A and B are shown apart, each in its own frame.
Chain A
Amino acid sequence: MFFRMLKKDLSRKKTMNIILVIFVLLSAMFASSSMNNMISVYGGIDHFFEKAGLSDYVMITIVNNGEDRSGEEIKKASSVKECKKEEIIYYSAVNLFKDGEKYTVFENPGVAISISDAKLKYFDKNNKAVKNVEKGHIYLAGILADPEKTTIGDSITLEFDNVKLDLVIDGYIKDAFLGSQFIGNPRMLMNDEDYETLIADEAIRDHSTGSIYYINTDDMKGLKKDLSEVKNALFSVPKSTVRITYMLDMITAGILLIVSIFLILIAFAMLSFTIRFTLSEDFREIGVMKAIGLKNRSIRMLYMVKYLFISVIGATIGYFAGVPFGKMMLASVSDRVLLESDNSTLVGILSSLAVVLMILAFCYSCTRSINKTSPIDAVHNAETGERYHKRSVLSLSKSRLSGDCFMAVNDVLSKPKQYMSMIITFTLCLLLVMMLANTANTLMSDKLLFFFGTTKSDVYYSSTDKIMEVMGSRSDDAMAKIIEEMETELKENGMPGKVHCELQYKIPTTYKDTKLLANMQHCPDTKAADYGCYLEGEIPEYENEIAMTPQLLGELGAKVGDKVTMNIDGEDKEFIITATQVSMNQMGSIGRFHEDLKLDASGASSAMAFQIDFDDHPNEEVIEERIERLKKIFDSDKIYNVTDYVDVSTGSAQTIAFAKNMVLIISLMIAALITILMERSFISRETTEIALMKAIGFKSGSISAQHTLRFLTVAIISYIVAAVLSIPVTKLVSDRIFAIMGAIAGIEYEIKPLEVFVLYPAILAATAVFFAYITSLYARTIHADSMGNIE
């Protein structure tokens, strides 16, 4: 009997059931693929590190004045258990050509190593370790292993001042240390002979080489202390920090997981609506079943069988749809990370099963109302319908609204329960989109500028080779000369301006018994007070005052007001920590010197872009025009305005923007499906009222207008709720994303009102209105005579 009734119900409410299946399908698809994604990325990175042989600590050094004493210092360190070294040659985008033209663009210096000197295992796309590179060929890793930047099979030229090599790109490799999107130093794996050809050149050997040390230790604190004496370190991080650099991949997986949780919530809201609707429709049948002696459990079982059927169908399709979807979402990660053997089947099945169980548990709780009703109640309610529970909120006689508008608004306000699931769904969809839009816009706005330890300038010119020139020079005025040359060039081209550059130093720092290499930022041409990134304390005013991020203070065990000892050019100096600051540089572990402190630029470990401030303070239009001219003058594409510079620096804006667009599309799909489902239900429930309106002279268009306006009203209510909650929700969720990048506090979000508060809500409302109108046309099939007792 159950199956006969089930069959009848499924065919009677076809549209409603199909939409429910779609919601379960989407929930299962997202749940299975996102869970798999999260597990793969979280577990996969450790697995990758293990297979690649990544050590506990990694340090990149640069040859300074032809010398690299880092190896000796590391060997001396008692905390070092094991140390492996890769010799490297630095190169930048200006060294790569194809057919005489510049080949590609990337910001930071890349590193080239010889395959025979490789101390990590590098894996190709088939997860096989690369053991041999033919002469004249290379493999690329990191940000260069991107089909949009480089093409496998391309023949390129690696050209320095005195030597050049023609190389064919053989493929992309997975590089555990420099392979994440967050690390901007792309690795190049080449043949020994080619490497030797390059290193034979004196200029390269003395100014463009360095080492990567892979160090194992049992005493991380001691190791940091021991390595604090290494003066030519450019970058040194423990494995845990390298792991964080893969966080962007996890953000995408995390967003997918949030979307799937939202989808499950929406599926619940829809189920709740559908179950309530079905029970109110079936009250007479329920009453009859009770009257003839069926137990509550049996009646509930009838509904449970139906929802079990729907959820199993939806979850099964969702699971199978989730496999290619999950693979697509993981594709970008598996291009960079050696993932563990595929366990997606088990994870997918378990996730889909969890969705089915959650839905059944929810359905079971929703059908509780059957228990509370006596047979007489049920039969009585069936006769009178639910009209005995309605109450008009507005009054047509007092309202100024037109008839259709009044009917729509009054209906929504009078039956809040009926519309609640739709309001919740629309609000959740809008909130997700608004939150991601705010985050993406912030990541692309100049509001994050200070978090990169940079001030606002007209133009930012990122020049790896010029910085490398300074860092590898023997001269302490190399930076001043480069700046002077650039200023002269600007003047000669009719756009005089001032140039400055933010530099980062690795400074051996001691506080009590803690010693480490602290990343410190310094710029003699700006004032410490120019940076709006301080959290507490007093901004450094004197040259012996510094600010540090809470992360760096935590590593040192110091706090504001403490004095630390820093070794600068071989001399120990005391500095007072006067303030805490926020920074996204070095994953948030960094400090800032006062501008009056004298430092040798050639000792810097890295630099931000050259910042240009034109004397005539031009407007944005002129700046854009000058940027184009400067690209030609400096023969570089890496010249940006302030917002583009932040975008390039964060590197994650595109990921978030992609997630936002995906969520927007999903939200629109959900809005469309829910609208169809609910409007179809409304028409079926309100057949008598529609017939009555037609009988007393309402036109079909007027009924469609009423029904469509209801959805617009719901969209407006949802919009108001979402608009009120958007900023707190953005802060709640996105502060964590920024914290991963280092900015643990003080994020001021870039809110674009037109986009966030007008465009997206309008698109959602338009979708709801469109589908409501299309579905409401079904009401045309109801005629005035439907209500009469025609014989």
Chain B
Amino acid sequence: MNKVIDVKDLCKTYVVNKKQNNVLRNVSFSINEGEMVAIMGPSGSGKSTLLYTVSGMDRMTAGEVTFNNRNMSKLSEDEMSSVRLDEMGFIFQQMYMMKSLSILDNIILPAVKSKKNKEDRRSIVTRGRSLMKKLGIEDTADNDINEVSGGQLQRACICRSMINNPKVIFADEPTGALNRTSSDEVMTELVKLNKEGTTIMLVTHDVKVAAKCTRVLYIVDGNIQGEKQLGTYDNSSELRERERELNGWLMEMGW
């Protein structure tokens, strides 16, 4: 398996009121192509910081992150933007979208902006619509963002993260703002995408969400305390067993 993300001795320090706050301390791990990795840990442990630093949205203080064979610490701000646009997809807890654009326009925006993408506007729109159809929200294409439910909006965010066929999708608590039904719908789609070959790294507090991933990393005080290989699953009965297993492991880790 190819390593798509390789993190070595990653450190991130914030200085607040002249006081150093070491959020990440020599974190090392790697993610292989096709994996779906959940980052778990107590509040304030550095889960989101890890996600944002690995994805290049935030600068690391020390260490090395290799993304798709590229050393992220050596990239300029603009080069990093290009990597995020063309090779990464992002899903956030809050379903942030451009207020003045329709759902479809929000989804195709990264493709329109991408210089790598040589498709004409019509092809981009067709692809956007087919992604929406795949995620079951094709009827909302021309709606404004205030005209759809939270679950639909988050699925639109998934479509947007997929529009440039990214290598990896980074998701920060993608179901955190959703009810259980919507949460299940969104996770079903993410698992489906992963099974189709998209690598996913997500942050979550939810055991049910993490249980659907192939691997779980547990982080405490900026250090990875443990790692749990879950592998893939085929049916929901298997899923319940994985949840139980994961819960037990988390208890062991001090969850």
Contact = CB atoms under 8 A, between A and B. Distances in A.
Interface stretch (A206-214, A350-358, A389-397): A389-397
Question: Of A390, A410, A694, A697, which is in contact with the most chain B CB atoms at under 10 Å from its CB?
Answer: A697
A785 interface: yes
Interface residues of B, number: 52
A7 B212 CA distance: 51
Contact of B172 (A384, A399, A410, A788): A788
B125 A397 contact: yes
Interface string B112-131: 11100000010011001000
Contacts of B97: 692
Contact of B86 (A384, A400, A697): A697
A784 B121 CA distance: 26
A789 B90 CA distance: 14
24 contacts: A392-B100, A395-B105, A397-B121, A397-B128, A692-B98, A693-B98, A694-B57, A695-B57, A695-B90, A696-B84, A697-B81, A697-B84, A697-B85, A697-B110, A698-B81, A698-B113, A699-B81, A701-B78, A702-B113, A787-B94, A788-B51, A788-B57, A789-B173, A791-B43
A651 B142 CA distance: 63
Contacts of B113: 403, 697-698, 702
Interface in A390-426: 390-392, 395-397, 399-400, 402-403, 406-407, 410-411, 414-415
Interface in A594-648: none
Contact of B77 (A403, A693, A700): A700
A403 B48 contact: no
A698 B90 CA distance: 13
B61 interface: no
B105 A787 contact: no
A788 B81 CA distance: 16
Contacts of B83: 697
A789 B96 contact: no
Interface in B158-179: 160-161, 172-173
Contacts of B108: 396-397
Contacts of B160: 696
B58 interface: yes
B85 A696 contact: yes
Given A392-B100, A698-B113, A785 B84 contact: no
Nearest to B58: A785
A387 interface: yes
Contacts of B96: 688-689, 692, 787
B25 to A, nearest CB: 15
Nearest to A414: B100
A748 B173 CA distance: 70
B85 A698 contact: yes
Interface string A765-791: 000000000000000000111011111
A83 to B, nearest CB: 78
**Nearest 9 pairs of A and B residues by beta carbon:** A697-B85, A784-B57, A396-B105, A697-B84, A397-B125, A387-B99, A785-B58, A414-B100, A403-B112
Contacts of B51: 788
B13 interface: no
Contacts of B86: 697
Contact of A388 (B48, B104, B146): B146
Interface string B44-81: 11111101100001100000000000000000011001
B247 interface: no
A392 B101 contact: yes
Given A392-B102, A694-B57, A790-B48, 16 more contacts: A392-B144, A396-B112, A397-B121, A406-B112, A410-B101, A688-B96, A689-B96, A695-B57, A697-B83, A697-B85, A697-B114, A784-B58, A787-B92, A788-B48, A790-B52, A791-B44
Contacts of B88: 697
Interface string A668-690: 00000000000000000000110
Interface residues of A, number: 42
Interface string A714-751: 00000000000000000000000000000000000000
A399 B83 CA distance: 26
Question: Of A387, A392, A406, A789, which is in contact with the most chain B CB atoms at under 10 Å from its CB?
Answer: A392
Nearest to A402: B112
Contact of A791 (B48, B94, B142): B48
B184 to A, nearest CB: 22
Nearest to A388: B146
Contacts of A700: 77-78, 81
B230 to A, nearest CB: 24
Contact of A789 (B23, B48, B104, B110): B48
B100 A696 contact: no
A396 B112 CA distance: 9
Contact of A410 (B85, B100, B124): B100
B70 to A, nearest CB: 15
Contact of B52 (A388, A693, A784): A784
Nearest to B142: A395
B46 A788 contact: no
B130 to A, nearest CB: 13
Contacts of B207: none
Nearest to B96: A692
A696 B90 contact: yes
A756 to B, nearest CB: 34
A386 B49 CA distance: 29
Contacts of B112: 396, 402-403, 406
B58 A783 contact: yes
Nearest to A396: B105
A785 B90 CA distance: 12
Contacts of B78: 699-701
Nearest to B90: A695
A388 B58 CA distance: 30
B182 interface: no
Nearest to B23: A791
B4 to A, nearest CB: 17
B40 interface: no
A701 to B, nearest CB: 7
Question: Of B47, B90, B108, B125, which is in contact with the most chain A CB atoms at under 10 Å from its CB?
Answer: B90
Contact of A392 (B43, B47, B93, B105): B105
B82 interface: yes
Interface string B30-47: 000000000000011111
Contacts of B77: 699-700
Nearest to B56: A784
A408 to B, nearest CB: 11
B220 interface: no
B109 interface: yes
B156 interface: no
B11 interface: no
Nearest to A410: B100
A403 B85 CA distance: 13
Contacts of A385: 99
B99 A785 contact: no
B116 to A, nearest CB: 11
Given A387-B145, A697-B110, A790-B58, A411 B100 contact: yes
A772 B109 CA distance: 23
